[in-house]
Amino acid sequence: MKIGIVCYPTFGGSGVVATELGKALAKEGHQVHFITYRQPTRLDFFNQNLFYHEVDIKSYPLFEHAPYELALASKMVNVVNFEKLDLLHVHYAIPHASAAYMAKQILKEQGIYIPVVTTLHGTDITLVGKDPSYEPVVTFSINQSDAVTAVSEDLRKATYEHFAVKKEIVVIPNFIDLERFKRQKKEHFKLAICPNGEKLLVHTSNFRKVKRVEDVIHVFYELRKKIPAKLLLVGDGPERDKMERLCRELGTCDDIRFLGKMEAVEEVLSVADLFVMPSEKESFGLAALEAMACEVPVLSSDAGGIPELNIDGVTGFTCKIGDIKTMTEKALEILDDKNLEGFKERALARAKEFDVSKILPLYEQVYVQTLEET
Ligand code: GMT
């Protein structure tokens, strides 16, 4: 098949899933055309089946905000026409699903029919999408898609709850490349961070409010009163400054390192003992899956679709959002030497259920079915 993939090219989960999906499809022999405003972060290798088309965003003094959606729709029309694509797969509804709808209508006028598959990733539904400033367009463009997928059962339910969506939504969870995300021998790294055998906690995110990074720091602060431990915070975003200030206020700076955005996050995960994800909202929790693939148990909130991945008491624990006390107790339970190895083994076993080889055929099935029906 010739597939056009539209996504955000950034470190965000939806962009990562879209890029990894495109790479996996290309390895299977499909021709994949990425249509984005920048080279996707993870589009980092050559394959003869992979193509990248940059959206040209023309600015003009009259525009306070350049009309990205129009530029994207125009690019989609151009690429579908020129590359003879079979379908468009857009990741994150805003504004990709409505831009795809517009492209589809323009192409229809030209006698070309292009089916659109929309994948809902999370905040496009649970946060931004349901805001009245976007809701009517999001509802319309989801209903106009030829097929819709969501990354968890919880997100599927939330979509039906918040929007007048009539389309069938197929749940296809996030997936992981176990060749890349596996525990690597990095003892020297562990020794440098934890010279006295301290336990190592890791959190990775885009430091947005919904991630509740302050809970990670508070849990760590409480935990450190009981056992020697260190914390690595990977990623960057709007809350980072506030979090640095919080560390100073709590006097934990010596034991916490902010590493910023990192490409090779699997190297950090390879030396971690516990991954912390206390999010307020989380449709799936790709970052937790990456940790589990590196044999790291997960201490998380029970938000959104996280419990569909992190099995309470098995691969880690899921606690009520903001419940620092329980989270600290559960962290201690996981990190207890008599429990830790078991949690690590079960985290890896669970991650294997989301191997890319198991999830890719589910997307291919949606494509085939969509093409047959349209
Ligand atoms: O987590 C984020 O804020 C980024 C966001 C995105 O769309 O880029 O991630 C969402 O999509 C990921 C991939 O499907 C999911 O694993 C994340 O759980 C989801 N984030 C939220 O729902 C907050």
> Residue 359 corresponds to which tokens in the numbers above?
């999830």
Domain annotation covers residue 241:
yes
Residues 221 and 365 in one domain: no
What CATH number does the domain containing 97 carry? 3.40.50.2000
Q: What is the domain extent for residue 12?
A: 2-175+355-373
Buried b / exposed e along 269-301 (16+ C-beta atoms within 10 A):
bbbbbbbbbbbbbbbbbbbbbbbbbbbbbbbbb
94 lines ligand 1 (CB under 6 A): no
Q: What is the mean pLDDT of residues 237-251?
A: 96
Residues 334 and 231 in one domain: yes
How does residue 63 score in pLDDT terms, banded at 50, 70 and 90?
A: very high
Ligand 1 pocket mutation, candidates 8, 121, 239, 289, criterion most atoms within 8 A of CB: 121
Residues 64 and 195 in one domain: no
In this prediction, residue 129 carries a pLDDT of 85
How does residue 291 score in pLDDT terms, banded at 50, 70 and 90?
A: very high
Length of the chain measured in residues: 374
Domain annotation covers residue 180:
no
- Cα–Cα distance between 227 and 109 in angstroms, integer? 67
151 lines ligand 1 (CB under 6 A): yes
Residues 341 and 236 in one domain: yes
- Cα–Cα distance between 28 and 24 in angstroms, integer? 6
11 lines ligand 1 (CB under 6 A): no
Residues 191 and 129 in one domain: no
Domain annotation covers residue 168:
yes
Q: What pLDDT, in 10s, does the model give residues 181-226? A: 999 998 899 999 999 999 999 999 999 999 999 999 999 999 999 9
19 lines ligand 1 (CB under 6 A): no
Residues 293 and 318 in one domain: yes
Q: What is the mean pLDDT of residues 351-366?
A: 98
Residues 83 and 144 in one domain: yes
Residues 359 and 285 in one domain: no
Domain annotation covers residue 73:
yes
Domain annotation covers residue 25:
yes
Residues 160 and 256 in one domain: no
Q: Provide φ and ψ at 180, rounded to 5°.
A: -85, -50
Residues 231 and 159 in one domain: no
In this prediction, residue 41 carries a pLDDT of 83
Q: What is the mean pLDDT of residues 331-341?
A: 98
Domain annotation covers residue 182:
no
Total count of domains within the chain? 2
Domain annotation covers residue 296:
yes
Q: Whose CA is nearest to atom 9 of ligand 1?
A: 13
Ligand 1 pocket mutation, candidates 128, 209, 284, 321, criterion most atoms within 8 A of CB: 284
Domain annotation covers residue 169:
yes
Residues 232 and 290 in one domain: yes
> 327 C-alpha to center of ligand 1: Å?
22
Residues 151 and 228 in one domain: no
Cβ proximity of 305 and 154 under 8 Å: yes
Q: What pLDDT, in 10s, does the model give residues 100-146? A: 999 999 999 999 999 999 999 999 999 888 889 999 999 999 999 99
In this prediction, residue 10 carries a pLDDT of 82
Q: Give the atom of ligand 1 at the shortest distance from the alpha carbon of 281.
A: 23
ipTM value: 0.95
